[in-house]
Amino acid sequence: MLPKKYATTDNKERVRVEDTGLIKKEYVRKKRKLTYLGMPSGEMRDILAWKDYFEKCTAVEIDDQMRNQLMLNVINSGLNGKISILYGDIEKILIKGSDEFNNKLQFPYDVVFLDCFGTIVYRELQRVKAITSLIEKQKGSDFLLLLTFNIRERKYCDQSIGTVLNKIEKELLGYYLQDDKAKLKINKIMGWYKADKTEEMYRQKIFGSYFIKTMAEERGFKVHVYPPIFYLGFKGSPMIHFAFKLMSGTESPTKEVSDQTIFNIINLNIKEVSNGRVFVRKQQAPTVGM
Ligand SMILES: C[S@@+](CC[C@H](N)C(=O)[O-])C[C@H]1O[C@@H](n2cnc3c(N)ncnc32)[C@H](O)[C@@H]1O
């Protein structure tokens, strides 16, 4: 019996059902089986749940025991021809394009699921750089990007998130240069996001969505942000799960412009999964107008 470094939960399984709907849509839209890149852990529940939609999978694992379990499960499930395993740190692998044994990532992927320990801003900006590198390597190919983060460690990312919240505020204020009343309202709302007592999920909602939207638009993608999902995961850890659809735009000298505006993404309602149910949370952040 392996020590429990990670175990799934009912809430996590319910989130997976939500993602299954998105993956199925992609499978129908592309009229073919999809390729997947992710960190499915030893039990490879992602791959088992979605195997009917997948043609090829790349599974990345850093932990030795998990890796051994994964290799065994790949063989036992008869999926050896379908799954390649890369060893090491996903962030380094995304940046370099290969693992320490020179096994290469097979870009482009249709579905990428980064199911991470820690928050989005982790180990300085290593995770942010890795996700940016992934988006660059996917250039020209539509894909579904699924991201899960643990949001318990607020202090990890306080400064970076604060900087980005200031940028969001500046951008919003730019729409209301002649309207002092609207500017005051924006200052108040962004003050709410920055306040210590505001729950981390709300800050992460706008940080994560804004980060992917701006990074991907600059790299030639239109982005659709689905409502983020909050849930309590393994050992009761507060988690946030994002799903983004990145659609390749036409070749252009300037950035892409998504259909969802900055106002739309800030105003997205957070969903919650609890006791096997998914629902829109009653409590939400204040909305910004336009
Ligand atoms: C949260 S679990 C994945 C669970 C899986 N997606 C599921 O839904 O059942 C994360 C897995 O990624 C591995 N992992 C964590 N950090 C990693 C990293 N930086 N690089 C590669 N693998 C990592 C962990 O050992 C673990 O097996």
**Domain chopping of the chain, boundaries:** 10-157+201-280
Instruction: Tell me the pLDDT tens digit for each residue of 142-178.
Output: 999 999 999 987 666 667 888 999 999 999 999 999 9
From 115, 148, 231, mutation site for ligand 1 pocket: most ligand atoms within 8 A of C-beta: 115
Give pLDDT, residue 156.
64
From 39, 117, 126, mutation site for ligand 1 pocket: most ligand atoms within 8 A of C-beta: 39
Instruction: Tell me the pLDDT tens digit for each residue of 199-243.
Output: 999 999 999 999 999 999 999 999 999 999 999 998 899 999 999
Going from the Cα of 40 to the center of ligand 1, the distance in angstroms, rounded, reads 6
Check if 87 has its Cβ closer than 6 Å to any atom of ligand 1. Answer: no
Check if 40 has its Cβ closer than 6 Å to any atom of ligand 1. Answer: yes
From 94, 117, 151, mutation site for ligand 1 pocket: most ligand atoms within 8 A of C-beta: 117
pLDDT top residue among 40 and 7: 40
Is the per-residue pLDDT at 68 higher than 90? yes
Is the per-residue pLDDT at 18 higher than 50? yes
Give pLDDT, residue 123.
63
Is the per-residue pLDDT at 1 higher than 50? no
Q: How many CB atoms lie within 10 A of CB 5?
A: 12
Residue 251 pLDDT level (bands cut at 50, 70, 90): confident
Going from the Cα of 116 to the center of ligand 1, the distance in angstroms, rounded, reads 6
Q: Does the structural domain 10-157+201-280 have CATH classification 3.40.50.150?
A: yes
Going from the Cα of 63 to the center of ligand 1, the distance in angstroms, rounded, reads 8
Mean pLDDT of 7-21: 94
Is the per-residue pLDDT at 58 higher than 50? yes
Check if 117 has its Cβ closer than 6 Å to any atom of ligand 1. Answer: yes
Give pLDDT, residue 3.
45
Shortest-distance atom of ligand 1 to CA 39: 12
d(CA 6, CA 12): 12
Going from the Cα of 275 to the center of ligand 1, the distance in angstroms, rounded, reads 23
Give pLDDT, residue 5.
66
Give pLDDT, residue 283.
95
Give pLDDT, residue 2.
44
Going from the Cα of 182 to the center of ligand 1, the distance in angstroms, rounded, reads 44
CA-proximal residue: ligand 1, atom 8 (nearest): 46
Check if 63 has its Cβ closer than 6 Å to any atom of ligand 1. Answer: yes
Q: What is the dihedral of CA 65, 78, 108, 37, to 10 degrees?
A: -30
Give pLDDT, residue 14.
97
Check if 8 has its Cβ closer than 6 Å to any atom of ligand 1. Answer: yes
pLDDT top residue among 241 and 290: 241
Residue 4 pLDDT level (bands cut at 50, 70, 90): low
Going from the Cα of 62 to the center of ligand 1, the distance in angstroms, rounded, reads 8
Check if 45 has its Cβ closer than 6 Å to any atom of ligand 1. Answer: yes
Shortest-distance atom of ligand 1 to CA 93: 20
Check if 136 has its Cβ closer than 6 Å to any atom of ligand 1. Answer: no
Residue 120 pLDDT level (bands cut at 50, 70, 90): confident
Give pLDDT, residue 8.
85
